[in-house]
A and B are shown apart, each in its own frame.
Chain A
Amino acid sequence: MSIDTNYAHPDSLVSTAWVAEHINDPSIRIIESNEDVLLYDMGHLPGAVHIDWQRDLQDQLIRDYIQPESFAKLCSNNGILPGTTCVFYGDKSNWWSCYALWVFQLFGHQNVKIMDGGRDKWISEGRPLTREVPRFPASSYPIPSVRRDSEIRAFYDDALAQSRSGRPLIDVRSPGEFKGQVTHMPEYPQEGVLRGGHIPGAQGVPWKQAVNADSTFKSAAELKKIYQDDLGLHPDDAVVAYCRIGERSSHTWFVLNHLLGFKNVRNYDGSWTEWGNRVGAPIEKSL
């Protein structure tokens, strides 16, 4: 199926067929990012490199992302240059590929795309996987001058200000998590949150509403109905999205920013594992 040209930035999304056609294009780097830490080793797209959300993108001592020097090194090790088009895909309906894409944008990497439908769609179409790990000549990715924290990332104080001012806060977790009935995702073990509920004023729009059964993104018209017609958001609104640790909200950030063209969307990556544990953080429940 082709990509809906009515998306605000249709070039942010590519089909599995497009990836198959461009798999040997030297200007493109295909990047797999998964929740399952060994899934890449079990087989991946030919030529795809692996970027691990925790090992490669997060600081190992501070709860934060890597610094610009480490990002430059990561890109250089994978033969990526600032002009390289990075095509991300992965498991879990592309949660972690959106997360990796968001981190790349945090460092100002512009040429990024998501393979619609992710890993499951590629496999369901009978396309090939390999266990051969590609080796690309190291590049010299320049160290980014800034990390765009203030542009596309929200911290606790930003989320609190958003809550107090009544500006849009989107909670993309499951309905049970939003209501405060459970403190973890369905089918997941507890991940260390003391309190259940949501940030006061947040509106619950589970990430899953944005995807079809085959993990592809819904059409532009369907997404507009969900986020603009039904929720009342406008593309010029300053929006903050959050989940538990920032991966599902990266997915929604991609939808709002890349597919619907919202200009001021930030991902609160501290999300509920920070808010739900933080002393003094106000919580709302809707049991």
Chain B
Amino acid sequence: MSYPPKLSAVIELFAGLSDAEKRETLIAYADQSRLQEPKHGETFDIEDIRKDEECTDTVAVFMRLDEGGGVHFRVTLGPQVQTLTRAMSSILCKGLDGISPNEILEIPADFVPKIVGAELVRLRSQTVYYLLTRMKGVAKVWLSRQRAAGSSQPEGLPS
């Protein structure tokens, strides 16, 4: 499967960077991770707030669907969450914005080393994959609920 256009743009951006530039860009994305937190007054279709064995602190994933069936994520990260995971939260919130839950489930994780770079994908930094897994989990739960509710999907959502 090809990546969604917004995520493809991020992957292409990183493809042209040196390791040092990748590092700087990841820091910039990590700095923006707080911008991905829920805004006052926002409501969500699914909220998944937990700390489990795959991450060192609480990670909260919030998902909202718009009228066209497009997904919008918000993420809150605890203070001990690794910097790479913070960067990935910004990248994924932007890169997956507006695609459908079914498309979320189809996204392969092989883009992660393309963005992060070989030097930083290592033992003890594997939690960088974790956030995509959590987002897929939320999308899957939403789809299951829709099926259970008799396919009362919003207009425009792929069947």
B123–A37 CB distance below 8 A: no
Q: A189–B54 contact, CB under 8 A? A: yes
Answer yes or no: A36 CB below 8 A from chain B CBs: yes
Q: Once the chains bind, are B53 and A38 in contact (CB under 8 Å)?
A: no
Cα distance A188–B23 in the bound complex, in angstroms? 23
Q: Which residue of B lies closest to A186 (CB)?
A: B53
The contact string, 1 if C-beta is below 8 Å from chain B, for chain A 161-203, is 0000000000000000000000010111101000000000000
Q: State whether the Cβ of A283 lies closer than 8 Å to any Cβ in chain B.
A: no
How many A-B contacts at CB < 8 Å in the complex?
54
Chain B residues near A55 (CB, 8 Å)? Answer: 119
Question: A38's contact among B52, B56, B83, B123, by CB below 8 Å, is which?
Answer: B83
Residues in B with CB closer than 8 Å to A189 are: 53-54, 126-127, 130
- The reply to whether the CB of B131 lies closer than 8 angstroms to some CB of chain A is no
Contacts of B84 in A (CB 8 A): 36-38
Alpha-carbon distance between A245 and B124 when the two chains are bound, in angstroms? 11
Q: Which of B26, B87, B120, B123 contacts A191 (CB 8 A)?
A: B123
Considering only CB atoms and an 8 Å cut-off, how many residues of chain A contact the other chain? 16
Report B8 CB to chain A, min CB distance, Å: 24
Docked pose: A103 CA to B56 CA in angstroms? 26
Q: Are A187 and B27 in contact (CB under 8 A)?
A: no
Beta-carbon contact of B30 and A38 below 8 Å: yes
Cβ 8 A contact of A42, one of B30, B53, B119, B120: B30
Q: Which of A36, A41, A187, A245 interacts with B53 by CB under 8 Å?
A: A187
Per-residue interface assignment for chain A, residues 241 to 258, with 1 indicating a CB less than 8 Å from any chain B CB and 0 otherwise: 000010000000000000
